[in-house]
Structure 1
Amino acid sequence: MITKVTCALIEQFGRVLITQRSKTMPQALLWEFPGGKIEEGETEEACLIREIQEELNLSITPVQRLTPVVHTYGDKTIELIPYICQYNKGTIEPQEHRSYQWVVPQDLANYEWCPADIPIMQEFVALAEK
């Protein structure tokens, strides 16, 4: 079974928000775009808005869907569905993550990413370069 997970590429002032997983999470200490699992009956956009509010205390608006990535981590397979999002308001208060950074697109490749996030990061960088 594939678990559908959304992630937000939140843009502000030419930078994008990335988050570092905590030591207790799977893929510990790797970087990712924040997001979470879609609940039954929930749209991708509603999931993103809820997850980012819960995990980071931010209000966002999903703007553009990028190419989803299917990736298997051991015994579970996820479909990671990315959206470029507009930052609306809020002060970042990480609930689950160890750290966060606002990064210019050309510096994203310098971080150690969760495997499923790598193609999304690469697509985002390519878009930013256009």
Structure 2
Amino acid sequence: MTGGVPRTVRVVAALMAQPGDGSRFLVQQRLPGGSRALLWEFPGGKVEAGESDEAALARECREELDVELEVGRRLWEGRHTYPDLTVELVLYAARLVSGEPRPLGAHALRFLTPAEMTALPFCEADIPLLDDLVAGRMELSR
């Protein structure tokens, strides 16, 4: 941190439905020992310099889940400031093209309904996103 202002990172996340069940979506539990350890979030990660959101999301899911995605349209965008970091979080619709999600960069993976997700401890940046998803304020099909 410089001058007391947390650095800002752009993070992209996937709303990926379970194949054959459009009501359950993939969430992942963060690894123990790191920042926000063992909290839940939507799969994805940081956008690197010079990388598009879509390319970053496909890369992160390839690296962390061993899957190939088709990244769709932007569904949600928000911003959250932690003591150490400001996160610009963008959620994209995503479809699993190949592979079976494996927790390479996560502690655990689950396909859950939005209502089931509310029982889990989520990262603070993901909570407004989850609230909108549960309340039906996201247009998922188009």
Q: Fold match, TM over 0.5?
A: yes
Amino acid at match of 1:32: E
Q: Match of 1:116? A: 125
1:128 shift after superposition: 7.3
Q: Match of 1:11? A: 17
Amino acid at match of 1:71: H
State how far apart, in whole Å, the 2-side matches of 1:91 and 1:67 are.
25
Q: Match of 1:66? A: 75
Report which of the two structures shows the higher radius of gyration computed on alpha carbons: 2
Q: Which of 40, 46, 51 is residue 42 of structure 1 equivalent to?
A: 51
Taking structure 1 as reference, are residues 129 and 62 closer, same or farther at Cα in structure 2, changes over 3 Å only?
closer
Q: Match of 1:2? A: 8
Structure-1-length-normalised TM-score? 0.91
1:23 shift after superposition: 0.9
**Structure 2 contact 102–109 (Cα < 8 Å) conserved:** no
Structure 1 consecutive aligned stretches of length 4 or more whose deviation exceeds 3 Å: 127-130
Percent identical across equivalent pairs? Answer: 38
Matches within 5 A, 1:119-130: 119-125=128-134, 126=136, 127=138
Q: Which has the higher helix share?
A: 1
What do you get for the CA RMSD once the two structures are aligned?
1.8
State how far apart, in whole Å, the 2-side matches of 1:106 and 1:5 are.
23
State how far apart, in whole Å, the 1-side matches of 2:103 and 2:120 are.
19
Cα deviation, 1:70-105, whole Å, max 9, x if unaligned, reads 111212111011112111110222122110100122
Q: Which deviates the most, 91-100 or 119-128?
A: 119-128
State how far apart, in whole Å, the 1-side matches of 2:27 and 2:129 are.
12
Amino acid at match of 1:5: V
State how far apart, in whole Å, the 2-side matches of 1:92 and 1:3 are.
25
**Structure 1 contact 66–120 (Cα < 8 Å) conserved:** no
